[in-house]
Amino acid sequence: MIELEPGEHIIAYLRKHWFRFLIELIPHIVLSVVPLGLLFFTNAFIPGTPGFRAAIFFVSLYYFLIWMHGFAKFTLYYLNMLVLTNHRIINAEQRHFFSRQVSTLELEHIQDIAIEVHGFIETFIGYGTIRVQTAGDRPNFAIEDAANPEESKQKIYEAQREALKIHKEDLANHSFN
């Protein structure tokens, strides 16, 4: 769970586009049709024939494994994100089920935000790569195949502009005290 600082609120969650997730599920859909094809080439699926129970067991196991792998793909899709708040960007990267890396970047330290959209499909469907760059040894953040990269870039710029404005006001208030 991501802990927010006092006065901090979430502006947007930036994730991969759903189309890219759907593309990753195509092998699962194709593989789920394989047992149906076996119905035509074997009589093991007819109740009362030898091997019926074994066939049902192995087909059930097969579908269970496909389902679990698809669920793992969905979990990684859902948990990998950039969280944009009014103070910072949080990069939550779920590498495996029990391996997660969370990095933060204060909005004041952003040097550049670049988007990359390559090809007809990315342009037509509206996804691309967002790269948030910093100066020095701070980590650069990137989310590949992000939904609406231009809109996300604008949200980050607006949040940065507001954060810089508040930061300048705080500096001015502290310098006169």
* pLDDT of the residue at 26: 94
Q: What is the pTM of this model?
A: 0.76
Determine the Cα–Cα distance for residues 86 and 23; give it in Å rounded to an integer.
33
* pLDDT of the residue at 25: 92
Tens-digit pLDDT profile for the chain (177 aa)? 678 888 899 999 999 999 999 999 999 999 988 887 777 777 766 777 777 788 888 889 999 999 999 999 999 999 999 999 999 999 888 888 888 888 888 888 888 999 999 999 999 999 999 999 887 777 788 889 999 999 999 999 999 999 888 877 766 666 555
* pLDDT of the residue at 1: 65
Task: Enter the CATH code of domain 12-177.
Answer: 2.30.29
